[in-house]
């Protein structure tokens, strides 16, 4: 009897960027500190290409689609310290595509580390052409114009959305749901909660769509919004989960309760540090030697810690935190620590 879960994504083009499954690890010291909860992490920060991170899962399907369409250039958008932009540049380099990234200065930080270190340094090394836009600019409109100009000059352009969170990109996290479920079954562990950050919503949407397609209850998945408000994150993630689900199972309908977003960690806005984030980053680093990023993982882990401390979980619960990567962001936020 096979314990591998059943999720067939072979109908979709995929360009492999990962070495294989990422490990799930038990955090013994932190679990002891926390008291009655067993904390696990899924290490989606552990991937070799371009410094690794969650966006590579989406990019396997995005690049698959781009290459199937005969693209020679990929254009995408992001905040100045976008991990998605950095990993798109890395994936494009690997696949032999040209890459242009449109970065906006939406986050109110203007020190040298934020503007030039971290992901921005890597974007340049990875060979991407950077378009530097002010915070109020419409990055996608700019990217569309740029794509048109490139097409007029004969290039075949593939335009990837913010965070790579198209329905096709989100398939990467449907695949992750199957991977995770298989690992949990093999280890004989069942997770009461799967916690993660929610930015552009595709990671969360893909996980939910994947679990539903395998007949699993997605209610164990709880994401902390770090980019938009609770209300708009919920609406956006529901829409994306529905679209991703439909790609896998054309007639399927997302239950309204399928997407759960926990509010309270965004603070003053996207990319703006909070004290809880600083504490979470320091705690995980100093007890387990693991590094969270300041924009996504730090805030989401702060939310999980708060839930554990306020006894939101029954004693003996097993919680899995999805580590999504973003380490270069720490160098960009040096002055925040």
Q: Which residues of this chain interact with ligand PLP, rule CB under 6 A?
A: 53-55, 83-84, 163, 165, 197-204, 293, 296-297, 324-326
Closer by beta carbon to ligand PLP, 50 or else 163: 163
Work out the number of other CB atoms within 10 angstroms of the CB of residue 152. 8
Q: Cβ 308 to ligand PLP, closest distance in Å?
A: 20
- Among the listed residues 63, 86, 160, 148, the one whose alpha carbon sits nearest the alpha carbon of residue 332: 86
Residue nearer to ligand PLP on the CB measure, 37 or 176: 176
Active site residues: 82
Q: In the bound complex, what is the minimum distance in angstroms from residue 297's beta carbon to ligand PLP?
A: 6
Closer of 185 and 220 to ligand PLP (Cβ):
220
CB 126 to ligand PLP: min, Å: 15
Exposure string (b/e) for 54-86, b if CB count within 10 Å is 16 or more? bbbbbbbbbbbbbbeeebbbbbbbbbbbbbbbb
8 A C-beta contact, residue 165 and residue 140: no
∠ Cα 214 216 221 (to 5°): 120
Of the pair 44, 100, the CB lying nearest ligand PLP is at 44
What is the token pair recorded at 110? 């203007």
* Nearest distance from C-beta of residue 194 to ligand PLP, angstroms: 14
Half-sphere exposure of 125 (CA within 13 A, CB side): 11
Closest residue by Cα to residue 202 from 257, 239, 228: 239
């Amino acid at each position: 009897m096979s314990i591998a879960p059943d999720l067939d994504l072979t109908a979709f083009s995929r360009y492999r960027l990962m070495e294989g499954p990422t490990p799930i690890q038990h955090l013994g010291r932190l679990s002891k500190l926390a008291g009655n909860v067993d904390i696990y992490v899924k290490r989606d920060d552990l991937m070799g290409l371009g410094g690794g991170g969650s966006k590579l899962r989406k990019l396997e399907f995005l690049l698959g689609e781009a290459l199937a369409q005969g693209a020679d250039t990929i254009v995408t958008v992001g905040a100045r310290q976008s991990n998605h932009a950095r990993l798109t540049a890395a994936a494009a380099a690997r696949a032999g595509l040209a890459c242009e990234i449109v970065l906006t200065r939406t986050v109110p930080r203007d020190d040298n580390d934020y503007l030039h270190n971290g992901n921005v340094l890597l974007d340049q090394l990875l060979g991407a052409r950077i378009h530097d836009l002010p915070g109020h600019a419409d990055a996608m409109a700019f990217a569309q114009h740029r794509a048109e100009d490139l097409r007029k000059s004969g290039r075949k352009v593939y335009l990837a959305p913010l965070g790579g969170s198209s329905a096709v990109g989100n398939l990467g996290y449907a695949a992750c749901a199957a991977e995770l479920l298989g690992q949990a079954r093999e280890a004989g562990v069942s997770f009461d909660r799967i916690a993660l950050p929610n930015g552009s919503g595709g990671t969360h949407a893909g996980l939910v769509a994947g679990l539903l397609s395998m007949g699993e209850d997605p209610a164990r998945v709880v994401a902390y919004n770090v980019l938009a408000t609770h209300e708009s994150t919920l609406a956006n993630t529901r829409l994306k989960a529905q679209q991703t689900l439909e790609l896998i199972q054309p007639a399927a309908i997302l239950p309204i309760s399928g997407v759960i977003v926990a509010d309270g960690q965004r603070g003053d806005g996207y990319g703006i540090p909070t004290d809880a984030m600083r504490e979470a980053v320091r705690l995980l680093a100093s007890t387990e030697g693991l590094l969270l990023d300041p924009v996504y993982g730090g805030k989401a882990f702060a939310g999980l810690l708060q839930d554990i401390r306020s006894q939101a979980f029954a004693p003996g619960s097993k919680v899995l935190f999805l580590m999504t990567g973003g380490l270069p962001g720490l160098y960009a936020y040096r002055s925040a620590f």
